[in-house]
Amino acid sequence: MNARDRLVASAQELLWERGYGGTSPKAIQDRAGAGQGSMYHHFAGKAELAAAALGITAAAERERAESILGGEGPALERIVAYLRRERDALRGCPIGRHVADPELVADPALRAPVEETFAWLRDRIAGIVAAGQESGELRAGADPVAVGAAVVATVQGGYVLARAAGAQEPFDQACEGAVQLVSALRFS
């Protein structure tokens, strides 16, 4: 890895662990084994480095979700597989954790990868629901956009519940509840 890549990877890790406000340029440099000159050679400052790191994290999260949602099989099975995907809820979502960071949310360039990822995920799930309705697999009465938003909100809320309780179980319960709710859309 070159210095730029090490800086970005270090920023990704520290942003997930500490958030934007809690991550200093010095901490990023120390973790990357790179000096201040190296950082400022590649990036104008912390915000530009964080934007690059968040963009890469967001792309990886979309790719991870797409590997499940874009797979073969019935619509409901793909949504259930997404809900049941193994996650370390106590660590929090690598993207969703950032919405609690006031500095990050206040900066449109830093907020953009978070906002875009959630919009993509809601739309992706809505599209799967709509396709399932068109094929006759799922009941036509539910609003696909609302279902997509509810699935994303459940996963993100599950992270919050788990971190508040200091346990994985509330996350798993929230996702299993969503599985039961979306399963009700299936034609019997």
This prediction has a pTM of 0.92
For CA atoms 139, 149, 175, 130, give the dihedral sign: positive
Domains in the chain and their CATH numbers?
3-183 (1.10.357.10)
Kindly state the tokens that stand for 33.
Answer: 């084994």
pLDDT > 90: what percent of the chain?
95
- 147-169: per-residue pLDDT in tens? 999 999 999 999 999 999 999 99
pLDDT > 70: what percent of the chain?
99
Rg, Å, the chain Cα set: 19
- 76-101: per-residue pLDDT in tens? 999 999 999 999 999 999 999 999 99
Provide the H-helix boundaries in 19-95. Answer: 25-32, 36-42, 46-69, 75-83
- 24-44: per-residue pLDDT in tens? 999 999 999 998 888 999 999
What pLDDT score was predicted for residue 188? Answer: 65
Burial, 27: exposed, middle or buried (Cβ in 10 Å; 0-12, 13-18, 19+)? middle
Residue 103 has a CB neighbour count (10 Å cut-off) of: 14
pLDDT band at 187 (very low <50, low <70, confident <90, very high): confident
Is the pLDDT at 1 greater than 90, yes or no? no
DSSP track, 120-188: HHHHHHHHHHHHHHHHTSB-TTS-HHHHHHHHHHHHHHHHHHHHHHTSSHHHHHHHHHHHHHHHTTB--
What pLDDT score was predicted for residue 109? Answer: 94
Q: Across the chain, what does the average pLDDT equal?
A: 95
Is the pLDDT at 23 greater than 70, yes or no? yes
3-state secondary structure (DSSP) of residue 74: coil
